[in-house]
Chains A and B, each alone.
Chain A
Amino acid sequence: MDGIISWFDYISGRPDEILADTWDHAKITLTVVIAATIFSVLLGVYAQRRPTVRALSLSITGIFLTIPSLALFAIFIPIVGIGNTPAMLALFLYALLPILRNTVTGLDSVPPAVVESAKGMGMSTMSQLFQIRIPLAWPIIMAGIRISSLITVGIAAIAVLVGGDGLGTYIQSGLTRLGLPNSLESVWTGVVFTVVLGLVLDLVWATFQRVTTTKGQRM
C-alpha cells in the first residue's frame, strides 16, 4: 500500500515530465509503425504473387525478429551515431514481419472470383489493387499493424540504452539507482506508462480500422 502511495506521489510530482516522455515514446512508436506499414504493404503487394520474393522477404523479416534487441540497437550506432535514429531503425526492422505477413495473407484471402469479376468488368490492375484487393485485405493488414504497434511500444523502452528518448529513461534510471529513494517508483512509472500507451495506441488503431472498413466487411 505504501508503495502505491509513494508511486502516486512520485508521478504527481512530475506530471509534465512524464507526459512529455510518454509523448516522445508515442512519437517513436508511431513513426516506426507508419514507416513499417508503408514499406511492408508495398513489399507485400509486390511479393504476394511472386513465390521467390515472397519466401525470401518473409524469412528475412522473420530473422530480424529473432536478433536480440540490445544487439540490433547497437549495430546501428557505428553507422548513424547514438540517439533516436539507431533505435528507430532497429524497431523498424522488428515491426516489418507482422505487417508483411498479414499483408500477404490478407491479399491471399481475397476471393479469386471477386478479382475475376473486377477484371472482367474492365477494372485496371491498379484499380483492382486499390479498390478491391487492398480494401478487402485491410482488416487482416490492420491486425498486423496492431501487433507491430504493440511489439514496438514494448521494445522502444530499450531505446534509452542507445541514447534515445521515451519511457525507457524511467526504467533505466530506476534500475541504476536501485535501493535509493524513488528508484522503484521510477521503474514502475516506465513500465505502467509503456503498457498504458500500448493499450491506448491499440485503441487508436481499432478506431482507425473501424472508420476505414465498411459494414460489409465486419462480422
Chain B
Amino acid sequence: MSDTANIHLDTNESTSRGSTRPEDRATKIRLEHVEKRYPGTKQPAVASLSLDILEGEILVLVGPSGCGKSTTLRLINRMIEPTGGRIFLDEEDVTKANPDKLRRRIGYVIQQIGLFPHQTIAQNIATVPKMLKWDKKKIAERSDQLLSVVGLDPEVYRDRYPKELSGGQAQRVGVARALGADPEIMLMDEPFGAIDPITRDRLQNEFLRVQAEIRKTIVFVTHDIDEAIKMGDRIAILGEQSVIRQVDTPERILAFPVDEFVRDFIGEGSTLKGLHFETVREDVQLDPYPTMHLTDRPAEARARAQEAQTDWVLLLDGDEHPIRWVPVSELDSGNDVTAESGTEVLAKVSIGATLFEALEQMLISEAAVSPVVREDGSFYGVVRLTHLNKAIRRARLEAREHYEQLETT
C-alpha cells in the first residue's frame, strides 16, 4: 500500500520563504566603496564596502563584535556620515541628500528600542507620519492598523505609555513605529538582542510572517549566526573593518563556507543547521516501510518485514494513520495484533516539515526512521538517515558547483 509513496526531498534554495530567486530582484540599496575613517585612526572602521541589497529581501549583516557591522548599518541612513564612497537608494545617490529627509524614508529599529517615554504608544507610532504632515484621521487609522500588525490590540495599547509595556511588547511597538510611514526600507540593529530567548523566538517568527506580507527591504544586524540563518534571505558575513567574507543565502553558506574565517564563524553543527533548509516534499522518492492493519494476519506482516529487512512493522488504523510500532518478535508470538500491540507512534512529521524536524523525530522514533504523514494524517513513507545524508551532500555539491561557476565566469 505504502510501498510506492512518492515524496520529494527538496533541495532547491529558499523554499521556506522568498519565492522569487534573489537574482531576479531589483537592487534597492547599493553601497559603492563606502568607507568610514575616524580622524586620528590608522585603520578605517569600514573599508571600501560594496554591497547590493535587493528589493524585498532581508539581508543580514553578521560578524564578530567590533567588526563594524553596526557602523555599516548606520552609514546607510547616515547616522554616521561616510568618509568615502557612495550610497544609492533606488538608483538615487543619497550620499549628500538631506539626512533628516532621508531618514524619514527609512525605518530604524535599535536594540534599546528608544520609545519616547513621555508619549503614548499611538503618539510614538505617529512620529514620522506627523513629520510628514499626514492628517490626523489617517495617522490614527495607521497607528491602529500597525498595532494590529505587530499583534497588539489597539483598544488596549494605543493610549498606554512605554513604561507600561514588557520588553517584548516594547519592541513590537518599536517595529510598528519604524513602519509608521510605510517606508520601503528598514534598518534593524540587533532588534531582538535584549529580549529573553522564548519571546525572541516568537518575535522572530512573527516578524518573518509580517515580512512575508509587507516585503520590505531590510538590513538586519546581529552577532548571532543562528538568528542570521533564521532571519536572512541572504547573509553577509563580515570580518574586520566590515570586509565581506561571504555573502549568500544561508543554505549555501552552510553548505559551502568559502574560507576558514567563515567556517569558524558559523561554528560547530553547520551541517545540522543546513537541515533547516531542506524539506520533506510530496514528489520525491521516499523509502517504503512495511505496514499492516488490524485486520491483517500477523504472518503476512511478518513476511513484509522480512522482505524489507526491518525489525518493525508500522500499524495503521482505518484512516491510514500510523498508530503503533509493532516489533517482529511480537508478530512471531502467534498472538493477534491489537491496538495495544507494540509501542505508540509518538514521532512523526508532516509533508513540508524540514529535515531538521525529521531528524529530531528519527532520533526518538522506535524504529530509527521518521514516518511522514499527509495533511490528513495518513501515512506516506519514511525518512531515513540516508535521505538526510543524500540531501546534505547534494546541497554541498550544488553550492560548490555554484562557486566554481562564479569563478570561471
Contact = CB atoms under 8 A, between A and B. Distances in A.
Q: Do the two shown chains form a genuine complex with each other?
A: yes
Interface of A: 111-124, 127, 132, 135-136, 213-217
A111 B112 contact: yes
A111 B117 CA distance: 10
Contact of A114 (B101, B108, B117, B120): B117
Given A119-B79, A120-B77, A122-B103, A136 B127 contact: no
Given A117-B114, A136-B118, A214-B119, 9 more contacts: A117-B177, A120-B187, A121-B180, A123-B127, A132-B116, A136-B116, A216-B119, A216-B162, A216-B163
Contacts of A124: 100
B161 interface: yes
Contacts of A214: 118-120, 161
A114 B116 CA distance: 6
Contact of A116 (B114, B120, B162, B163): B114
B113 interface: yes
B110 interface: yes
A129 to B, nearest CB: 14
Main secondary structure of the interface of B (DSSP, over half): mixed
Contacts of B116: 114, 118, 132, 136
A123 B113 CA distance: 16
A123 B131 contact: yes
A217 B117 contact: yes
Contacts of B103: 119-122
Contact of A122 (B101, B114, B162, B174): B101
A116 B100 contact: no
B108 A121 contact: yes
Contacts of B163: 216
B369 to A, nearest CB: 51
A114 B131 CA distance: 17
B128 interface: yes
Contacts of B100: 122-124
B258 interface: no
Contacts of B266: none
Interface size class of B (residues with CB under 8 A): 20 to 34
B119 A120 contact: no
23 contacts: A114-B116, A116-B112, A117-B108, A117-B114, A118-B127, A120-B77, A120-B79, A120-B103, A121-B108, A121-B128, A121-B180, A122-B102, A122-B128, A123-B131, A124-B100, A132-B116, A135-B118, A136-B118, A214-B161, A215-B161, A216-B117, A216-B118, A216-B161
Contact of A213 (B104, B118, B177, B178): B118
Interface in B107-163: 108, 110, 112-120, 127-128, 131, 161-163
Contacts of B178: 121
Interface string B327-358: 00000000000000000000000000000000
Contacts of B162: 216
Contacts of B112: 111-113, 116
A136 B117 CA distance: 8
A214 B115 CA distance: 14
Interface in B297-349: none
Contacts of A112: 112
A214 B116 CA distance: 11
A114 B162 CA distance: 12
Nearest to B174: A117
Contacts of A117: 108, 110, 113-115, 174, 177
B161 to A, nearest CB: 3
B168 to A, nearest CB: 17
B287 to A, nearest CB: 54
A111 B116 CA distance: 10
Contacts of A121: 103-104, 108, 127-128, 131, 177-178, 180
Interface in B157-198: 161-163, 174, 177-178, 180, 187
A136 B162 CA distance: 13
Contacts of A132: 116
A111 B131 CA distance: 22
Interface in B40-81: 77, 79
A132 to B, nearest CB: 6
B375 to A, nearest CB: 44
B74 to A, nearest CB: 8
Contacts of B161: 214-216
Nearest to B77: A120
A68 B99 CA distance: 51
A175 B131 CA distance: 62
A121 B131 CA distance: 9
A215 B161 CA distance: 8
Nearest to A135: B118
A120 B131 contact: no
* Pairs of residues from A and B, 3 with the lowest C-beta to C-beta distance, nearest first: A117-B114, A216-B161, A113-B112
A111 B114 contact: yes
Contact of A217 (B118, B127, B177): B118
Which of A111, A119, A123, A216 is most buried by chain B, counting CB atoms within 10 A of its CB? A216
Which of B119, B174, B178 is most buried by chain A, counting CB atoms within 10 A of its CB? B119
A114 B79 contact: no
A136 B114 CA distance: 13
A120 B110 contact: yes
Given A215-B161, A216-B161, A120 B117 contact: no
B89 to A, nearest CB: 14
Nearest to A138: B118
A143 B51 CA distance: 51
A117 B131 CA distance: 14
